[in-house]
Amino acid sequence: MTKQQLFEQIQKKRSFLCVGLDSSLDKIPQHLLRYENPILEFNKQIIDATKDLCVAYKPNTAFYECYGKKGWETLTETWKYIPNDIFSIADAKRGDIGNTSAMYAETFFNEASSEMSFDSVTVAPYMGSDSVSPFLTFKDKWVILLALTSNAGHADFQSQEVGEDRLFEKVIKISQTWATNEQMMYVVGATRGAAFGDVRKLAPDHFLLVPGVGAQGGDLGEVCKYGLNSQCGLLINSSRGIIYASQGEDFAERAREEALKLQQEMEQILVKAGLV
């Protein structure tokens, strides 16, 4: 999916919502345990209930890898179930020496070998350009680079001064020599608020993947105030606040209700900004 195609989906659905599929056996409704693959059934019903309200799905691969072979099968089948016109994100946070990153890229991008071909994968930049470049060799695929995250520990490194810049600013500056805004996005946590203004000064045209709205307390209005650009430029992720809205048999309906609330708020923002 190209940047323009993603923006067209945002305009069509009047939404820039990404639904995080952080699906865990100990959190999904108990009645699903009677299914052969409870997590896959959960994911399918969540997707069916929300696919007209969101433009992206983001399975966090840790929630699948922990179940071994069965988990990888669930991740594969979940990817296959995501509609083709919805942006898919493998939230894997990979990053290693070049030949290892090349294998990670094969894992998430090469359907012929792995049975998965996500549109994008999250990547950690700490080891530098040679750890990221193997992901960029795949045509029409995206790297979503960790820049300024929503967790409390972000301050340990990301906000530390490195010369004239904070580390996250240096990451954004240097990484733009590796790829254009047609192939690279950045993760910027919703709880960072006004820091979106600093990010936009450095990366005015990039899409930003924004976790932390909902259960983590990020404010959608504040994020959009500083982060919106001429093509929206934001994918706002909500995971627990949507998928775990109910533990009952109505979980899919309740998930839809929560997704609809966000979509309606996003529609108002897009209309006000003149983007739809």
Quickly count: other Cβ atoms within 10 Å of residue 221's Cβ.
Answer: 9
Does the annotation count 93 as an active-site position? yes
Catalytic residue, candidates 93, 170, 225, 261: 93
CB 55 within 8 A of CB 16: yes
Closest of 139, 214, 219 to residue 183, by C-alpha: 139
List, by residue number, the catalytic residues: 93
